[in-house]
């Protein structure tokens, strides 16, 4: 964060080491102070990205995994993926969207040749339709309800 862009005293936030940090910037002292009131409520809206598959011997990129924790449904040994655990990892993306991912890979393959560029656009359109469906799915409650945001004017 560049302090040159902060010209007034205000609340600020930033992301660092898989954490959201919140502070109050005081222009007169050029210092950040942590919130001191424990009764303040902070609501975060975010999109969680799926965890990547690990190869044998790899450790998770995110912090917070211990030596025997579970990662994608598989127990880690010494904080790393085992040979047998590699084949048992569970994908976090729902199964109905796997076809869209395959369409993206096929489309990328067809893009390499001028003769098959029409096929590439067909498969990439299938991929984009799958992404739209996945976004709709992510904003739905699993009971069929939908999350909506109410706008207000002040």
Residue 74, SS3?
strand
Among the listed residues 46, 50, 44, 69, the one whose alpha carbon sits nearest the alpha carbon of residue 59 = 69
55 and 34 both lie in a single domain:
no
Domain membership of residue 145 (yes or no) is: no
Which structural domain, as residue segments, surrounds residue 74? 50-92
**Structural domain total, the chain:** 3
| pLDDT tens per residue across span 8-62 | 778 888 888 777 888 888 888 888 888 887 777 778 777 767 777 888 888 887 6
| pLDDT tens per residue across span 126-145 | 999 999 998 888 777 665 56
How many Cβ atoms sit within 10 Å of the Cβ of residue 109? 13
Give the single-character DSSP code of 80: B
Helix, strand counts (H, E) of the chain: 3, 5
Distance CA 145, CA 152 (A): 22
Domain membership of residue 144 (yes or no) is: no
Is the alpha carbon torsion for 109, 113, 119, 123 positive or negative? positive
Domain membership of residue 14 (yes or no) is: yes
| Residue partners of 32: CB distance under 8 A and separation at least 6 | 12, 23, 24, 25, 26
When pLDDT is cut at 50, 70 and 90, the band that residue 70 belongs to is confident
Query: How many residues comprise the chain?
Result: 154
> What is the reported pLDDT for 54?
83
88 and 99 both lie in a single domain:
no
């Amino acid at each position: 964060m560049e302090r040159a862009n902060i010209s007034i005293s205000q609340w600020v936030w930033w992301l660092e080491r898989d954490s959201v940090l919140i502070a109050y910037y005081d222009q007169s002292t050029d210092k950040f102070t942590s919130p001191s009131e424990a009764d303040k409520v902070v609501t975060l809206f975010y999109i969680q990205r799926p965890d990547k598959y690990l190869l044998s011997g790899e450790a998770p990129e995110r912090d917070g995994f211990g030596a025997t924790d579970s990662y994608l449904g598989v127990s880690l040994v010494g904080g790393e993926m085992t040979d047998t655990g590699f084949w048992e990892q569970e994908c976090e993306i729902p199964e109905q969207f796997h076809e869209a991912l395959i369409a993206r890979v096929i489309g990328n393959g067809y893009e390499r040749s001028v003769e098959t560029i029409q096929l590439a656009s067909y498969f990439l359109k299938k991929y984009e339709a799958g992404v739209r469906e996945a976004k709709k799915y992510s904003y739905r409650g699993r009971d069929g309800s939908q999350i909506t945001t109410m706008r207000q004017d002040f």
